[in-house]
Amino acid sequence: ALIAMASGAVQLTPDTWAGPDKPGVNFLALGPDGELDARQRLEILNAVREAAARADLVVVYHHNHYWGENRGVDGPPGRELRIDRFETPAWMERWARELVDVGADLYVVHGNPALHGVEIYKERLIPYGLGNYIFHTRGGLDRYGPLAWYSVVADAQFEDGRLTALGFRPLVLAMDGDARGAPYLAQGGEANAILGRLEDLSSRYGTRMRIDGESAEVLFNEP
């Protein structure tokens, strides 16, 4: 089962939201107090519970545009100033675990063009942001900075809804020319930099990895 939702983004005005009698975006709003909209949150949790009762594997996909406030004070012209977008927000961590608690096997976040850490919670997988797989942005090449062009692809294996194996291959995206935004396997120092960053970001959740050349695997039940 797949349950998708979206948060933030100026284009997602209330007239685009799904309702009882019309299709649309499954919107999840974040209030200025850092709390999710109570009604929308409950509807999504109920949908996950229903999916978990009917499906062998439940994937929850979240396209998020709540990236924090503009706090950058200096930088290249045109650079995105929401520097907090490189930090996984606490509300998202709480939300991810809540979704797992009601039946999600995999919670995938996208929207923010930045690599984030990976958490294994109750033997379920939470990648808080794998970066971009294909990135056709209208903005300038430097709008989101060099990290927007680094990402990973995950190879996850499940048994009875529980994560049993997880590996990663690092990607670089073409930054210019006809192939701009297309993914390629990272090599050498770029591969090491991407996997090293992923390992560092994931360590805060107790996720341990072994990097072997241009790939990485998560270590399960090892000291």
pLDDT digits (tens, 9 = 90+) for 149-161: 999 999 999 988 7
Residue 93 scores a pLDDT above 90: yes
Nearest Cα residue to 96 out of 121, 63, 64, 130: 121
Please tell me the pTM assigned to this model.
0.93
What mean pLDDT is predicted for residues 51-67? 96
Residue 112 in tokens: 């923010």
At residue 86, the pLDDT reads: 93
Residue 57 scores a pLDDT above 60: yes
What's the rounded Cα separation, in Å, for the pair 66 and 27? 12
What's the rounded Cα separation, in Å, for the pair 51 and 43? 12
pLDDT-derived band at 222 (thresholds 50, 70, 90) equals low
Residue 9 scores a pLDDT above 70: yes
Contact (CB, 8 A) for 59 and 106: yes
At residue 176, the pLDDT reads: 86
- The percentage of residues in the chain with a pLDDT greater than 70, rounded to a whole number, is 99
Which has more confidence, 91 or 68?
A: 91
- The pLDDT mean for the chain works out to 93
What mean pLDDT is predicted for residues 91-111? 97
For 52-90, give the DSSP string. Answer: HHH-S--EEEEEE---------S-STT----GGGGS--H
Residue 19 scores a pLDDT above 90: no
Q: What angle do CA 110, 95, 125 make, to 5 degrees?
A: 65
